[in-house]
Chains A and B, each alone.
Chain A
Amino acid sequence: MAQTIGKIQTRLMREYYKYFSKYAKGKTPESKVAWVTSFVPVEILEAMDILYYYPESYAAVIAASEREQELLAESERQFLTTDCCSYSCCIEGCVSLEDGPRGKLPKPDILIATNNQCNTLPAWWNILAERYNVPLVILDYPGEDMEKEIAYRYVKSQHDDLISELEKLTESKFEPEKLANVISNSERSVKAWQNVILNLRTKDIKPTMLFDDINYLITARCKEQTAELYDMMASELSQKEEITDGKIPVFWIGYPLWYHQDRFFSEIMYDYRIVGSNYITWWNLDYSGNNSSEKLFNAYNYTFLNLSQKTRNARLSKLIKESGAKCAISLRNKSCKCDFVSAKDISIPKSEIEIDMIDRSFLDIEKATGVLELLKTTIH
C-alpha cells in the first residue's frame, strides 16, 4: 500500500515539476502557463488545459532546501524589502537570479492572483507582471460581509471574463462539462483530505507529514489522482495505533516552518503533541452550489482568510474543540498580517511565538523555549 501511495505522490510531483529548468532539459511546455496564487479557481485552468504553477509553494520548497537566505538577500538587491511577505521576497530572489533548488519556474504567459487570502498577493503579482510583461488578472472576492447576491454577480462576471481571456490566450473553446468534471475532482480531493486529517488527533502520526502532504490539495486539487492518494492515506492512517504518549495536546495556529525539517520546532516541543492545525484545513473549500458558477463562487469567495473575524473565530473554536487540544501555539508571522488575527479570541491557554515561515533567522529558539515552558504552567 505504502508503495502505491509513494507512486502516486511521485507521479503528481514529477508531473508538476517537469518543466522546471532542472528537469526540463531545455524542453518548453506545449501548453500555456499561468502563475497562480493559492486560492485561484484553478479548476477553470485545468479545464482549459493550462499549466499552472504556485510561486508560494516554490518558496516553501526553497526554504526547505535551505536556499532562502541567499534569495532573500537578492530580493533586497532588487529593491524589494524583506519587510514584505517572505514568499514574495524568496521568489523575487529566485526569478532575479534564475535559480532555485528545482531551477527556474516555466515562464508565465499569464499571471492570475486573488485577494481572498490577503492583499499582498495582488501587489506581488504586479511586480511579476512588470518583470514578465504578460497579462495580469486580479480576481476580487468580496468575502462574507457583502450581500450574497451582489457578491455572486461580481465574482461570476470576473470568472466569466477570465474564461474569455483564457480562450483568447489558448485559442480554444471553453467546455463547461469539462469544468464540471474537474470541480467534482476537487470536491472529492477535499473530502478525502478531511478524512486524512481526522487522524491527527488520535493516531501516532507526525504533523510534518500533513504539513507536507497538503501540498497536493494546493497544487493538484482538481487532478483525479489526488482524491485517490488521500483515500489511500486515510485508510492507512486509520489502521495506525492510537496514541498514548501522555504528551500535552496542542493546537498549532499558523503556517508550518518551511525551513525546518519537521516543519515545527520539534526540538523544543518534546512535552507537546500537535493534535490540530488550522493551516491544514485552509484548502477544505466548500464547493456547494447548483452549477459550476455557484460552486466556484462558494469555494473561492468564502476561503478561511476571506471570512470575517467572527466566522473565523467560530471555525477555529470548532477545530480546536474537535482536536481535544488543551492549549495553543499561535505563531506571529512576520510575513503575514492576515494570519496574525486568527488566534485573537480563543478560549484555551495560548502562547505567541514570533516566527517567519520562510526566514529561519526570525525564530529566537531560546525565547520560544521559555514561552513553551510557561505555557505548561497554565495548563491544568
Chain B
Amino acid sequence: MKILSMSGFVPEEICDTVRFSGYTGERNITHFCGYANDFISQVMLDDSIDGAIFPRSCDSTRIIPSYLKGSSKFQYQLKVPARSDDYAIEYFAMQLKQLRVAIEEYYHEELGDISNRIEMVNCRNEIIGSYYEKLDRISYKDYIDAIHEELSVALHESKHDELNRIEVTNPTYKHRVYLIGSFLANTDIIRKIEGCGLKIVGDNLPESGRIQNSIVESFDEDVYAAISRKVLSRRLSPTQNNFSKIISFDVNEMCKLHAEGVIFVSQKYCEPYDYLYSVYKKKLDELHIPVLHLSLSNSEDLSKAKLMIEAFADTL
C-alpha cells in the first residue's frame, strides 16, 4: 500500500500515507493551482503510487476526482468541513471511519491499531514543535527539508532521523521574518530568502507551524472524534473559513517573535490564499509590518522571486 496524501487534513493516524510534496508532470490545466496539478500528475503517472487521498477544501481539490477518473488506483476525497464546530467534528469523524473501511476493502488488508499511530504522530509533531521553538537558531531550509523527508516515509518506518539531524548552528542574519503560505513544495525559495540574510522565525505552513505540537490529547471518547477534533481545531487553514482567527493568531505570534516583516508565499490560482492575502495585507499595513507577496507557479517565477526578496530585504 503506497497512498499519496495531499494536505494536512488527511490524518496519518488511519494508515500509512506518503505526503505529496511535489512532482513534475506534463499535465497543465489552465487557471488551476500548480500544486494540485502536480498531485494529479503523480497519481496518474507514478507507478509506485497505488492510491490517493485528497481533500475537498478549495476549488482545485474539489475537482480532482474529475481528472483522476481514468485511474484504477484507490481514491478517496475527504470532504473537509467548511466550519470547525461540534457538528463539523462529528461529521468529519464519520468520514474518517468511512475512509478506514474504504481502504480495508480496497486493499483487502486490516489496518492496525489507531492508538499506536496516534502516539507516533503525537511524538513526531512534538519533535517538530521542539525545533519550531528554536527556528532562529537553526537553518529553516534544513528544518523544512527534514519535515518533508519525514512526511515522505511511512510513519512506522520513521526514526525521525532527518529531524534529529538538524543542528543548532546559530546562523547569522540581518532581519527576522515570518512566513505564511500553503505547503511549500518548492523549498528553493527558502534558500533564496535565507541567502538574502532573512531569518524565518515562525510560520503558519501546514507542514510546520500548523502541525507543530498538534497532538491528540486523549482518546477516551471515540477515537475518530478525537482525531477529527485535533485536525479541525488546530491552527486553522484558510479553507476553514475563519480569516479573522487566523490573522489574529499569526499577528500575535509574529509580534512575540519580533518579526520585522512577512513573506506571504502562495500558489498562482490558489483562491483560499489569494482571498486571505487581500485581508492580511490590509491588517499588516495597519500595523506597519511590511509584507512581500510571492505568487509562484513555476521555476521561472523563482528568479523573479529572488529579485523581489532582495528588494524586500533592503526595505527592512
Contact = CB atoms under 8 A, between A and B. Distances in A.
Interface string A254-279: 00000000000000000000000000
In this complex, which of B32, B58, B83, B269 has the most chain A Cβ atoms within 10 angstroms of its Cβ? B83
7 contacts: A81-B278, A83-B271, A119-B82, A129-B243, A143-B79, A332-B30, A344-B66
A145 B102 CA distance: 13
Given A120-B59, A337-B60, A129 B278 contact: no
B106 interface: no
Given A120-B271, A150-B91, A341-B63, A80 B83 contact: no
B256 interface: no
Contact of B62 (A125, A136, A332, A337): A337
Contacts of A80: 274-275, 278
B307 interface: no
Interface string A156-185: 011001000000000000000000000000
A122 interface: yes
Contacts, number: 125
A130 interface: yes
Contact of A140 (B60, B65, B83): B83
B181 interface: no
A215 interface: no
B238 interface: yes
A124 interface: yes
Given A115-B82, A126-B243, A83 B95 contact: no
Contacts of B239: 119, 123
B288 interface: no
A153 B88 CA distance: 11
B159 to A, nearest CB: 37
A154 interface: yes
B87 A119 contact: no
A138 B279 contact: no
B152 to A, nearest CB: 27
Interface residues of A, number: 46
A337 B32 contact: yes
Contacts of A340: 29, 31-32, 63
A84 B91 contact: no
B59 A78 contact: no
A161 B88 CA distance: 13
B108 interface: no
Given A123-B275, A143-B79, A337-B31, 13 more contacts: A81-B278, A83-B295, A88-B275, A127-B279, A129-B243, A138-B83, A157-B87, A158-B83, A334-B31, A337-B60, A337-B62, A337-B269, A338-B62
Contacts of B11: none
Interface in A91-143: 92, 115, 118-120, 122-127, 129-130, 136, 138-140, 142-143
B87 A158 contact: yes
Contacts of A308: 65
Interface of A: 78-81, 83-85, 88, 92, 115, 118-120, 122-127, 129-130, 136, 138-140, 142-143, 145-147, 150, 153-154, 157-158, 161, 308-309, 332, 334, 337-338, 340-341, 344, 354
Contact of A119 (B32, B57, B282): B57
A219 to B, nearest CB: 23
Contact of A124 (B29, B242, B244, B275): B275
A350 to B, nearest CB: 16
Contacts of A337: 31-32, 59-60, 62-63, 269
A123 B241 contact: yes
Nearest to B92: A154
A340 B29 CA distance: 10
Nearest to A332: B30
B278 A138 contact: no
Nearest to B95: A146
B238 A123 contact: yes
B90 to A, nearest CB: 8
A81 B274 contact: yes
A130 to B, nearest CB: 5
A130 B30 CA distance: 30
B57 A140 contact: no
Contacts of A83: 31, 268-269, 271, 274, 295
Interface in B57-99: 57-60, 62-63, 65-67, 69, 77, 79, 81-83, 87-88, 90-91, 94-95, 98
A118 B59 contact: yes
B62 A129 contact: no
Given A80-B278, A138-B83, A140-B82, A129 B59 contact: no
A127 to B, nearest CB: 5
Nearest to B59: A337
A83 B31 CA distance: 8
A127 B295 CA distance: 19
Contacts of A157: 87
Contacts of A126: 238, 241-243, 275-276, 279
A124 to B, nearest CB: 6
B272 interface: yes
Contact of B279 (A115, A130, A334, A338): A130
Contact of A142 (B91, B243, B276, B282): B91
Contact of B295 (A81, A125, A130, A136): A81
Contact of A154 (B87, B269, B272): B87
Contacts of B66: 309, 341, 344
A127 B271 CA distance: 12
Contacts of A158: 83, 87
